[in-house]
Chains A and B, each alone.
Chain A
Amino acid sequence: MNPAELKPRDFKSNQEVKWCPGCGDYAILNATQQTLAEIGIPRHQTVIVSGIGCSSRFPYYLDTYGFHSIHGRALAVATGVKTSNPDLSVWVATGDGDAMSIGGNHLIHTLRRNVDLNILMFNNEIYGLTKGQYSPTSPQGLKTKTSPFGSLDHPFHPIELALGAGATFVARTMDSQPKHMKKIMLAAAAHKGTSFVEIWQNCLIFNDGAFKNWTTKDMRDEHTIDLQPGQPMIYGTNGDKGMLMDCHGSQVVAPDKASIWDPSTPTPMPGFLMANLDRETDRPRAIGIFHDVEQETYDQAVNTQVQNVIDEKGEGSLKDLIYTPDTWTID
């Protein structure tokens, strides 16, 4: 099909979208519909899988095949889908609770297997659907309904977790920058293997402004650095700061001294260095593409192995399976 034939509206389902007015999810949905139209894979070849949470209502709003599964298990369901039909474009909409808490096990194992899925993890650092409890990405000390005196948990850093689990594509974007979101989603779609995309998403009801220091118009240029493959690492409102990376870490330099960002190094160390900026209050936080490497995908490997055995042994019949050489006959 000619990609130009598909429009974002072709991906809109007839279901009424039911998120809170002003929720960041609307922007993510729009960016996804635009991305799906642009990549041009037919609707019937596209599957959206989700778990439970605000983010997980996603499949109902996209006119593709969709599976709204159970809490934490979207990646396991999606692995079954993709492995059963590697021709499908499979997307997973999940949240910080769904992917990092109840579904944490499936996340790390999906990443290490490198199943060819596009994971959009909406991170709002809070449980929204259950109405405001701290999540595994909530900062320590956050006061919520279940932590009235402040959360005691140390948070996960999603980018580090994904890199540590062996992810082949790790990126971050934010709901307040639709163009950046679409750019990252297109890169995720182009990547063969598991693409892990953390999306900073504002929950204006239960955790409003969690990312405001990095996402609002007046803050984001100064406080974020966009990791663009092959581009100098420059940031700042006027593009007046550069980032220099060496074996000791990173430091702020003049723009002309900035390193060229390369997410395709076999080691995820540069990505870790950039993810580590989150821990330093006086440094910008990184967005963009942290890591992007090629590796055989699980779904391909599974099906290739089956085909190799068939090529070697011939396609087995039921009769071969049942009538083994150790039979005897009673006449």
Chain B
Amino acid sequence: MTTDVITQEDVVIRFAGDSGDGMQITGSQFTETTAIVGNDLATFPDFPAEIRAPAGTRAGVSGFQIRFSSGDIFTPGDTPDVLVAMNPAALVVNYKDLKPGGIVIVNTDAFTEKDLAKAKMESSLLEDGTLSAFRVIKIDINTRVLQALEGSPLNKKDVLRCKNFYTLGLMYWLFSRPVEPTLEWLSAKFASKPDLIEANQMALRAGYNAGDIHEIFQGRFTVAPMADLPTGTYRNIMGNEALALGLATGADLADLKLFLGSYPITPATDILQYLAAMKSHGVVTAQMEDEIAGICTAIGASFTGKLGVTTTSGPGVALKSEAMGLAVMTELPLVIVNVQRAGPSTGMPTKVEQADLNQALYGRNSEAPIPVIACAAPSDAYDCAVEACRIAVEYMTPVMLLSDNYIANGAEPWRLPVVEELKPFKVSRHKDGETFHPYGRDERLVRPWATPGMPGLEHRIGGLEKEDLTGNVSYDPENHQKMVEQRLDKVMGIRKTIPTPQPTGAESGGVLVLGWGSTYGAIHTATARPEKPGQTVAHLHLRHIYPLPAGLEEIFARYDRILVPELNMGQLAKYLTSEYPQFRFETLNKVMGKPFKAAEIRIRVTKMLEEQS
């Protein structure tokens, strides 16, 4: 039997099912294989905070969206082409996002009266015409898996747990992906459980073969590998892993050992887990009793000559803020990572928001300037973590590194750095032969880092105001003024080491869309092509938020209007208004726990351009 193979440039698939259906594994396996095929890709896992919400309910729906392409892409896509729904709840929660004419693949075995009731559905969407705009492919996945695994030593419940790999096999067939990478992954994953390897591999193959045998689909698709990727070595990377690797790299470039003091918190925990596995690189991780102990051990480690790091999310930063002030006062290197999530308070821990910018900039008592930098995408988290380490070590200062849920759990191909070309960082040490002053400063206002164990450099630091040079406790009014100013001037001096970011798109004219953090992909996509000839639009993205890079005024002045889309209520826009009062920063705010769709930004940009003309 021959099947038509249709070449597509760009495909978005969303896998959706119950939290217990293994959708995150299904999605991440599809991602790994797609990376190997050589497509550009971006992913968006979206899951509930509950480990197992009641089975079959809407609250328990877990989703994983992947977009892959033969061209450059920057977001996981606004509207899926294909929705895989493993149960009624997954279908009802997701079908509205689907592209008209899109494909819905449903597991009909999960559409019993009982299943519909759990999803609070009065009638089956499969029967009532709701899905008439889509191509609905109905497959009795449970039945097929039971048939395929007949004779398996596993019990029925465990056999049915293989249904995600059946589904994955079917999708591999549909999109012409090889099954081998996942077969190998299963062998490694379940090395000590051969029954599970065999069952899941059989399910995967059965799903793949079903595409050939059963004529479920009218055709299959292929997405060609990216043609014009820059040369180099690539791997698929998630944001949290990239960030962990960046921290390890930063410590290495400073010739220091990394010490992570942390406390588990969604969505930052992965970073602790990745670093905990890096012991052969001399990385020490301490899972402490609370957030405060996390940062305080890191400060103690930095005092002792390690590169101290603490990782957390917004609520954890709130707890750490007093200790962050201590790091400002003691002028020790420290990297504080905030993987932001929707708030306030506990908020929506597994959902994205970038509303901790104010906290990063201002969330401490008194005058406590801390450099702030923000990652724009999963692979950018690597570069930003390296940069955070550079600033911390070169300037003897705590640094706040902002990521978010969308970056943390998203994946994309990462062009690996050439390790030999990475530039080492210079640590500020006391020079032999000179008089040692714990709070003496070089021309950049950086104090020397003398650590316990160094003879002759014994000194005391702490949270009380320091006397200039000696570091002794001082309540002298002039000294306090001077020290506050020096701490500020030191941090502002970092600006000299930051390049001015350059906008992409039009060099001047209509609308400049200005962003920071994980809105990068959506803004980039939205501004890539103006709709009408003559319309001019550009994108500028900020990595360094405090201090801001020099030269932004000249860029802002070249455009008629500036739009700042943010997943908050306008925090960057307000900050920029106070820094650059001569410009008007228009806002586009979304706080739904979801990233921007490129279209949402594009609609606004188009409207602004039309108002101009």
Interface residues of A (CB under 8 A from B): 13, 15, 42-47, 49-50, 52, 59-60, 63-70, 73, 76-85, 87-88, 105-106, 108-109, 302-303, 305-306, 309-310, 312-319, 321-324, 326-331
The number of residues on chain B lying at the interface, defined by a beta carbon within 8 Å of a beta carbon of chain A, is 69
Residue on B with the closest CB to A326?
A: B235
A327 engages B234 (CB within 8 Å): yes
Residues of A within 8 A of B257 (CB): 84
- Closest residue of chain B to A49 (Cβ to Cβ) is B300
Minimum CB–CB distance from A43 to chain B (whole Å) comes to 5
Q: Which residues 153-172 in B have Cβ within 8 Å of A in the complex?
A: none
> In the complex the two chains form, what is the Cα distance from A313 to B283 in whole Å?
14
Kindly provide the distance from the CB of B255 to the nearest chain A CB, expressed in whole angstroms: 12
Asked whether, in the complex, the Cβ of A80 is within 8 Å of the Cβ of B303, the reply is yes
Assess whether A68 is in contact with B301, with CB atoms less than 8 Å apart: no
User: Do B280 and A310 touch across chains, with their CB atoms under 8 A apart?
Assistant: yes
Are B234 and A330 interface neighbours, CB within 8 A? yes
Q: Is the CB of B419 within 8 A of A328?
A: no
Closest CB of chain A to B236's CB: distance in Å?
7
Within 8 A of A (CB), among B443-491: 451-464, 472-473
Are A331 and B462 interface neighbours, CB within 8 A?
no
Of the residues A68, A321, A323, contact of B278 by C-beta under 8 Å: A321
Given A309-B280, A321-B245, also A330-B229 (CB < 8 A): yes
A316, B234: Cβ atoms closer than 8 Å = no
Is A44 touching B454 in the complex (CB atoms < 8 A)? yes
B458 touches A59 (CB 8 A): no
Q: Which residues of A contact B288 (CB under 8 A)?
A: 76, 79, 109
* Complex alpha-carbon distance, A77 and B36, angstroms: 45
* Of B18-26, B291-299, B580-588, the one with at least 4 CB within 8 A of chain A: B291-299
- The verdict on B189 contacting chain A, using a C-beta distance below 8 Å, is no
Give the Cβ gap from B301 to chain A, nearest Cβ, in Å: 4
B326 is an interface residue with CB less than 8 A from chain A? yes
Query: Which A residues are in CB contact (< 8 Å) with B306?
Result: 84
Pair count A-B, CB < 8 A = 205
A81 touches B289 (CB 8 A): no
On whether the beta carbons of B293 and A76 are closer than 8 Å, the reply is yes
In chain B, what residue has the closest Cβ to A87? B453
Nearest-neighbour CB distance to chain B for A296, whole angstroms, equals 16
Contact A83 B259 (CB under 8 A): yes
State which of B293, B298, B300, B461 has its C-beta within 8 Å of the C-beta of A66. B461
Using Cβ atoms and an 8 Å threshold, which residues of chain A touch B305? 84-85
Instruction: Give the chain B neighbours of A63 by CB distance below 8 A.
Output: 458
Q: Which residues of B contact A319 (CB under 8 A)?
A: 419
Measured between beta carbons, the chain B residues less than 8 angstroms from A82 are 300
Known: A80-B299, A109-B293. A67 touches B461 (CB 8 A): yes
Q: Is the CB of B235 within 8 A of A88?
A: no
Interface residues in B63-114 (C-beta closer than 8 Å to A): none
Given A84-B259, A322-B245, A328-B35, A68 and B464 touching (CB < 8 A)? yes
Among candidates A60, A84, A323, residue contacting B304 with C-beta atoms closer than 8 Å: A84
Cα–Cα distance between A106 and B290 once the two chains are bound (Å): 9
- The reply to whether A84 and B278 form a contact with Cβ atoms under 8 Å apart is no
The residue of chain A having its C-beta at the shortest distance from the C-beta of B325 within the complex is A70
Given contacts A42-B455, A44-B456, A65-B459, contact A318 B232 (CB under 8 A): no
Determine which of B234, B283, B293, B304 lies in contact with A85 in the assembled complex, contact meaning CB atoms within 8 Å.
B304
Q: Which of B259, B308, B460 has the most CB of A within 10 A?
A: B460
The CA-CA distance from A165 to B595 in the complex, in Å, is 46
B464 and A105 form a contact (CB under 8 A) = no
Considering only CB atoms, which chain A residue lies closest to B36 in the complex?
A: A328
Q: Are A70 and B304 in contact (CB under 8 A)?
A: no
Question: B54: CB under 8 A from chain A?
Answer: no
Residue of A nearest to B461 (CB): A67
Q: How far is the CB of A258 from chain B (nearest CB, A)?
A: 40
CB contact under 8 A between A321 and B300, given known A328-B235, A331-B231: no
6 residue pairs, one from A and one from B, having the closest CB atoms: A80-B300, A68-B462, A76-B296, A80-B297, A66-B460, A84-B304
Give CA–CA (A276, B559) in the complex, Å: 77
**A303 proximity list for chain B (CB < 8 A):** 284
Chain A nearest Cβ from B405, distance in angstroms: 24
Task: For A49, list chain B residues within 8 Å (CB).
Answer: 300
Name the one of A15, A52, A84, A330 contacting B284, with C-beta atoms under 8 angstroms.
A84
Residues from chain A with Cβ under 8 Å of B422 in the complex:
318
Asked if B281 is at the interface (CB within 8 A of a chain A CB), the reply is yes
Q: Give bound CA distance, A56 to B452, whole Å.
A: 19
A13 touches B453 (CB 8 A): no
Cα–Cα, bound, A70→B325 (Å): 10
Q: Whole-angstrom distance between the alpha carbons of A163 and B564 in the complex? A: 57
Contacts of B454 in A (CB 8 A): 44
Closest to B257 in A: A84
Given the complex, which residues of B lie within 8 Å of A42, measured CB to CB?
455
**B233 located at the interface, meaning its Cβ lies under 8 Å from any Cβ of chain A in the complex:** yes
B303–A322 contact, CB under 8 A? no
Q: Determine the distance from Cα of A314 to Cα of B282 in the docked complex, in whole angstroms.
A: 11
Q: Is the CB of B286 within 8 A of A83?
A: yes
Find A68's partner among B35, B230, B245, B460 (CB 8 Å cutoff). Answer: B460
B363-405: which residues lie under 8 A (CB-CB) from chain A?
none
Q: Using CB atoms, name the residue of chain B closest to A306.
A: B279
- Write the B242-282 contact mask toward A (1 if CB under 8 angstroms, else 0): 00010011001000010101000000000000000011111
- Given contacts A60-B473, A68-B463, A313-B280, whether A80 and B261 have CB atoms under 8 Å apart is yes
Interchain CA distance A315-B278 in the complex, whole Å: 10
Provide the bound-state CA to CA distance between A171 and B550, in Å.
59
